[in-house]
Amino acid sequence: MANITMKQAEAKTITFTVTDSDGAAVDCSSTTLSFKVVDANGGTEIFSKADADFDKTDATTGVLTINVTATESNITARYYISELKIIFSETNIDKSVDIDFIIEEGA
């Protein structure tokens, strides 16, 4: 998975594409999602997104999006860790992935 890189105080739409080990799209239409960003040095949560914050318009093809606001990204420029968590409702299987979340100095 690629890093997420943003400028300080930048609003951005982040798109996730969920695939299986063969690269095929995973249907995420009946999932519960969460996303959070934490301080890499202490684990303190910086901000988070709940299931209702995700756009699941294309979830059947594994495509999910969230919007990060300028207020949420208006934090110290440095490296953070983010986590995308997916719970599949039918099987109650819980999967998560850590993603480097980098804030660069704003212009």
What pLDDT sits at residue 107?
66
Rg (CA), the chain: 14
Supply the CATH classification number for the domain 4-104: 2.60.40.3350
Q: Are 26 and 88 in contact (CB under 8 A)?
A: no
The band of 1, judged by pLDDT with boundaries at 50, 70 and 90, is: low
Q: What residue ranges do the domains of the chain occupy?
A: 4-104
DSSP 16-71: EE-B-TTS-B---TTEEEEEEEEETTT--EEEEE-GGGSB-TTGGGTEEEEEE-TT
Cα–chain center distance at 20? 17
**Alpha carbons 81 and 60: distance in angstroms, whole number:** 27
Look up the pTM and report it: 0.92
pLDDT one-digit tens code per residue, 17-53 = 999 999 999 999 999 999 999 998 888 999 999 999 9
The band of 101, judged by pLDDT with boundaries at 50, 70 and 90, is: very high
